[in-house]
Amino acid sequence: MAQSWIGPVSVTRDVSVDMKGLYVLTCFVAADAGHTWSKLPAEDRKAQVVTQIRRMFSPYVEHVPDPIDVVFHIWFEDQWSQGCPCPAMPAGVLSKLGHALRTPHQNIHFVGTETAYEWKGYMDGAIRSGERGAAEVIQKHDTPLKAAL
């Protein structure tokens, strides 16, 4: 992971799968810089990101190659994410109501990446919340599955 305060990219993550030969960087362009950047033509957006990646990594890598492909996702145009790849609530909501995200209601237990204690919005958070929810169900219902844990 790399973080930069010199844009346009603020966060870069290596999400490669080395064993499959898939070498991928996920880059986030956020806040006001993201709004400005998103209005540029695709080739200009790509050029700015590639320039920044080269600037960040060229001291450590002899040659930073051109990307084979670039895929953009403008989060604030995505009707389902409402502007962010991770859930974000207004100030004070979690302090006042955060307990309700995970509190079971009768036989309903809430799991999902948004209910994770860590890594909300990511697959890791989804797995952690699933494990938490499964443990809640087993504890509450005292099933034979308890022996499996």
Q: State which amino acid sits at residue 135.
A: A
Contact 136, 143 (CB under 8 A): no
Point out the least confidently predicted range of 5-9, 40-44, 122-126, 134-138: 122-126
The CA radius of gyration of the chain, in Å to the nearest whole number, is 20
φ/ψ of 25, rounded to 5, equals: -115, 135
CA-CA distance, 126 to 115, in Å (whole number)? 8
Mind listing the pLDDT tens digit for each residue in 36-75? 999 999 999 999 999 999 999 989 988 988 999 999 988 8
| Whole-prediction pTM | 0.61
Instruction: Indicate the pLDDT class of residue 89, thresholds 50, 70 and 90.
Output: confident
Structure tokens at 149: 């844990």
CA-CA distance, 60 to 24, in Å (whole number)? 17
Contact 67, 50 (CB under 8 A): yes
Query: In this structure, which topology does domain 93-148 adopt according to CATH?
Result: Arc Repressor Mutant, subunit A (1.10.10)
Peptide bond into 8 cis (omega under 30): yes
